[in-house]
């Protein structure tokens, strides 16, 4: 597999995105889910062409993006998507909120599974729901799994929806098809909806069997709504484009009830970039996956050599590592200690769930091997200083 090389720091620091403007120049910024790779050339060409023709008006609707995704989903994900059952919007978070508003009433419980992408907590409340936490079972040493009994009990207690993270951020878990089908059966039994965030789906490592939720079973198609985007896999989150996908008449009614403006929140550049990504970006994506595979393995070696006691399970998907730094003795929020003493910015573990995130951090390894090496070296030096 070929590799796409990440940009060097001097180039990256000219970017004006959040990752590169949130910290001082002496900090290595590894918390924000932006990749350090150069933009895929087909996407860059499509955007340059749009600028040259002053193509900066409103997007033309969901169909062109949906048709591009149809081919991508079939080829890359083994998933047959009907473009007529796709409604686009600005980003995955917008999609989650709008779908939750259609399938729940204010005050209804919505299940999430910590440790989980921190905005999920806010998205549920934005949709006027009440967060119901059902933490993942297992852990770094043995691996994780969905707590199906806990989810069943939460639905029995009155929860009306669940936001599934498939693949799971921050632990990099790819739930298998059997588990997803079992989850769908639970949803069918309780007459509830599974909203599946699949934005990291294209970032599953080769050899790992990935099942989009709507592919898992007839019950999943009936009770599921999938939301996905090119944003993470092609590093274009600022361009604003996502897809809300259904596969049943029940799901279609959810999309049909979406406010008119939901579709028009998709940016024109987001639509243009997504079409280019889905139709011409495969070679670039393969190269990125190769580089991410190298880095997830490099991180394991670096931790073994320089940070003994730190616990890490190599993710099967995403470019994010969930690290247990408890052994370093840096308290419940080791990210704060790391930022102050090593000038390495990491994701704050407790933001992913206060009950499961203490002593943990999230690290973004979509960077050069040199940056990853330097980050672990800095953390190791801070460890030495903290015990002297």
Q: What are the tens digits of pLDDT across the range 245-278? A: 999 999 999 999 999 999 999 999 999 999 999 9
Which residues, at least 6 apart from 365, have a Cβ–Cβ distance to it below 8 Å? 30, 292, 295, 296, 298, 299, 319, 320, 321, 372
The per-residue pLDDT for 352 is 98
Question: Residues 171, 134: contact at Cβ < 8 Å?
Answer: no
Residue 332 — pLDDT band, cuts 50, 70, 90? very high
The per-residue pLDDT for 388 is 58
Mean pLDDT of the 338-355 span: 97
Q: What are the tens digits of pLDDT across the range 171-200? A: 999 999 999 999 999 999 999 999 999 999
The per-residue pLDDT for 387 is 61
Residue 1 — pLDDT band, cuts 50, 70, 90? confident
Question: Residues 91, 123: contact at Cβ < 8 Å?
Answer: no
Q: Which domains does the chain have, with CATH numbers?
A: 9-38+282-387 (3.90.1150.10), 43-280 (3.40.640.10)
Mean pLDDT of the 214-230 span: 98
Classify the C-alpha dihedral 236-207-303-1 as positive or negative: negative
> Largest alpha-carbon pair distance within the chain?
64
Measured between alpha carbons, how far is 173 from 318 in angstroms, rounded to an integer? 9
The per-residue pLDDT for 93 is 98
Which residues, at least 6 apart from 187, have a Cβ–Cβ distance to it below 8 Å? 155, 162, 193, 194, 219, 220, 223, 224
Residue 385 — pLDDT band, cuts 50, 70, 90? confident
CA dihedral 103→107→113→119, nearest 10 degrees, is: 90
Strand partners, 133: 112
Question: Residues 363, 289: contact at Cβ < 8 Å?
Answer: no
Q: Residue 314 pLDDT > 70, yes or no?
A: yes
Q: What are the tens digits of pLDDT across the range 53-90? A: 999 999 999 999 999 999 999 999 999 999 999 999 99
How would you write the chain as a 3-class SS string?
CCCCCCCCHHHHCCCCCHHHHCCCCCCEECCCCCCCCCCCHHHHHHHHHHHHCCCCCCCCCCHHHHHHHHHHHHHHHCCCCCHHHEEEECCHHHHHHHHHHHHCCCCCEEEECCCCCCHHHHHHHHCCCEEEECCCEEECCCEEECCHHHHHHHHHCCCCEEEEECCCCCCCCCCCHHHHHHHHHHHHHHCCEEEEECCCHHHECCCCCCCCHHHCCHHHHHHEEEEECCCCCCCCHHHCCEEEECCCHHHHHHHHCCCCHHHHCCCHHHHHHHHHHHHHCHHHHHHHHHHHHHHHHHHHHHHHHHCCCCEECCCCECCEEEEECHHHCCCCCHHHHHHHHHCEECEEHHHHCCCCCCCEEEEECCCCHHHHHHHHHHHHHHHHHHHC
Question: Residues 376, 306: contact at Cβ < 8 Å?
Answer: yes
Q: Residue 386 pLDDT > 80, yes or no?
A: no
Mean pLDDT of the 151-173 span: 98
The per-residue pLDDT for 384 is 77
């Amino acid at each position: 597999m070929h590799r796409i090389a990440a940009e060097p720091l001097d180039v990256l620091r000219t970017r004006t995105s959040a990752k590169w403007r949130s910290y001082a120049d002496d900090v290595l910024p590894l918390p924000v889910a932006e990749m350090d790779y150069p933009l895929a050339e087909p996407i860059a060409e499509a955007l340059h062409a749009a600028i040259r023709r002053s193509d900066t008006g409103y997007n033309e609707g969901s169909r062109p993006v949906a048709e591009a995704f149809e081919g991508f989903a079939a080829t890359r994900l083994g998933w047959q998507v009907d473009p007529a059952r796709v409604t686009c919007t600005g980003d995955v978070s917008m999609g989650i909120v709008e779908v939750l508003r259609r399938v729940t009433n204010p005050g209804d419980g919505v299940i999430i599974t910590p440790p989980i992408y921190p905005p999920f907590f806010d998205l549920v409340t934005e949709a006027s729901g009440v967060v119901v936490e059902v933490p993942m079972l297992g852990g770094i040493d043995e691996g994780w799994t969905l707590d199906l009994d806990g989810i069943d009990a939460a639905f029995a207690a009155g929860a009306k929806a669940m936001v599934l993270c498939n693949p799971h951020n921050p632990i990099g878990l790819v739930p298998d098809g059997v588990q997803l089908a079992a989850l769908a059966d639970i949803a069918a039994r309780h007459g509830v909806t599974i909203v599946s965030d699949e934005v990291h789906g294209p970032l599953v490592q080769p050899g790992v069997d990935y099942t989009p939720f709507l592919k898992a079973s007839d019950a999943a198609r009936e009770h599921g709504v999938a939301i996905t985007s090119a944003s993470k896999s092609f590093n274009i989150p600022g361009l604003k484009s996502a897809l809300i996908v259904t596969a049943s008449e029940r799901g279609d009614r959810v999309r049909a009830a979406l406010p008119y403006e939901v579709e028009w929140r998709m940016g024109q550049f987001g639509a243009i970039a997504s079409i280019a990504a889905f139709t011409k970006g495969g070679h670039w994506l393969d190269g990125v996956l190769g580089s991410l595979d190298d880095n997830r393995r490099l991180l394991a070696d670096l931790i073994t050599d320089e940070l003994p006691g730190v616990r890490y399970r190599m993710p099967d998907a995403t470019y994010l590592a969930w690290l247990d730094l408890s052994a370093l003795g840096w308290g419940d929020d080791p990210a704060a200690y790391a930022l102050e003493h090593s000038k390495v910015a990491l994701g704050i573990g407790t933001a992913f769930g206060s009950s499961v995130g203490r002593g943990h951090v999230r690290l973004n390894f979509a960077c050069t091997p040199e940056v990853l090496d330097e980050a672990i070296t800095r953390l190791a030096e801070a460890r030495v200083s903290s015990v002297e």
